Amino acid sequence: MAGVDSSYSWWRLAASVTLSTVGGIGMWCLVVALPIVQADLGVSRADISFAYTMNTMGFFVGGVALGWLVDRRGIVVTATMSAIGLAAGFACAAIAPSLVLFAAAQALIGFSAAATFAPLVADVSHWFLKRRGVAVAIAASGNYLAGTVWPPIVERLMRDHGWRDTFLAASVLCIVAMVPLAFALRRKPPHHGEQTGSTAGSAGAAAHSARSLGLSPNGLQAVMVVAGIACCVAMSMPQVHVVAYCADLGYGVARGAEMLSLMLGFGIVSRIASGWIADRVGGIKTLILGSTLQCLALVFYLIDDSLNSLYIASALFGLFQGGIVPSYAIIVREYFPPKEAGFRVGIAVSSTLIGMALGGWMGGVLFDMTGSYRAAFINGIAWNVLNFAVAFWLLMRQSRRNVYA
């Protein structure tokens, strides 16, 4: 049987990324559709942002529940359920006559799409040891690859055929493409003898547990949840509202979709680079680096709102922040047992979606209150500072452990 770090591991990673890219339409379709659905349903920006919040809250619940399921039943069952749920959710959204029903459909879409993110990342982590950081980062990049591929396609389909027909097309796509990919992953993960977690990077440090940071396992998990929420309240401002922001400035939805695609394309580069870094310095230091750079990128959005500046800011934001979320998965594998990987990674990574949901809604509310997105960007920077503070606190505890070891 092919095992850890084998050629099959890399083939499986490629299949996982493809599955994640297809399923990622469940997250990014609505981001592009926000202003069009808002106009069609006759609701406010805060109201339609609530639909996005339902999508991301569904993603959070799905990440935890389906992460638990993948530990027990494997990725094939989980991914197949995801395909069916996405198809049903998109079909229901396409015929929804009101915001309430549309938001409920978005919750189902988010729940189902979650199987193609954290559970897949956890599954991939079992197949690598020496290059786990890179492999996890590549697996997590499927979500960003989806964000690069789908926005321009969705925008064009909506322009030519309307958003309802576009959602119906997405429903068919999920069933046709995702079920075969799920069955391609039917081989069970190998047993590779780890007892607590991976090494902190590949630098040769011994495996350690949450208690080595002076925290209980649930205590460390809670700290990671706070960090995840904070970083993604900040992250949500450009990712959720850049399309609507461009439409408000008169640049058009298409320009905003291009910026989102550019942002997430550079995010793929950032994620893979962060995986390479994490293999050498560990997850906590990689998280600190990503948090610092993301905050810097948010400041660029406040400097100038000209079209060229927004393209540059979007590219920089993608290049700077892509490594943050995979860092949480790396930290889980460093400090928790492999048998808990799906559930723990599910909580850590999916909690970032609470931040995306909260930040997406807050951005809409602050826009309605002030008539611009400036206050929303400032709010994002403040939450980013909280993320940095939590990550720095963990780094200090890790440094004390190394001193007394």
Q: pLDDT by residue (tens digit) across 324-340? A: 988 998 898 888 887 78
Residue 36 lies in a domain: yes
Q: What is the pTM of this model?
A: 0.74
pLDDT cut 70: percent of the chain above it: 94
Report which of 317, 338, 329, 318 is spatially closest to residue 275, judged by C-alpha positions: 329
The CA distance from 132 to 125, in Å, is 6
Half-sphere exposure of 341 (CA within 13 A, CB side): 26
Can you say how many angstroms the Cα of residue 238 is from the centroid of all Cα atoms in its chain?
14
pLDDT reading at 288 higher than 50: yes
User: Which domain covers residue 206, as residue numbers?
Assistant: 7-404
pLDDT reading at 4 higher than 50: yes
- Give the CA dihedral 363, 365, 367, 370, nearest 10 degrees: -130
Residue 233 lies in a domain: yes
- For 269, other C-beta atoms within 10 Å of its C-beta total 15
Residue 29 lies in a domain: yes
pLDDT reading at 269 higher than 80: yes
pLDDT in tens, 86-133: 999 999 999 999 999 999 999 999 999 998 988 888 888 888 888 888
Residue 354 lies in a domain: yes
User: Is residue 205 classed as helix, strand or coil in its secondary structure?
Assistant: coil
Residue 108 lies in a domain: yes
Residue 242 lies in a domain: yes
Residue 325 lies in a domain: yes
pLDDT reading at 306 higher than 70: yes
Token pair belonging to 209:
């547990």
Contact 261, 148 (CB under 8 A): yes
Query: pLDDT tier at 261 (50, 70, 90 boundaries)?
Result: confident
pLDDT in tens, 351-384: 887 888 788 889 888 988 888 888 999 999 999 9
Residue 45: give its domain's CATH number: 1.20.1250.20
Query: pLDDT tier at 85 (50, 70, 90 boundaries)?
Result: very high
Domain count, the chain: 1
The CA distance from 278 to 272, in Å, is 10
* C-alpha distances out from residue 169 to 26, 29, 33, Å: 12, 11, 14
pLDDT reading at 29 higher than 60: yes
Mean pLDDT of the chain: 86
pLDDT in tens, 336-348: 887 787 888 888 8
Residue 279 lies in a domain: yes
Residues for the chain: how many in total?
405
The CA distance from 262 to 342, in Å, is 30
Instruction: Find all residues with CB under 8 Å of 73, minimum gap 6, and list them.
Output: none
Question: At residue 2, what is the residue type?
Answer: A
pLDDT in tens, 159-178: 999 999 999 999 999 999 99
Contact 324, 231 (CB under 8 A): yes
The CA distance from 274 to 111, in Å, is 27
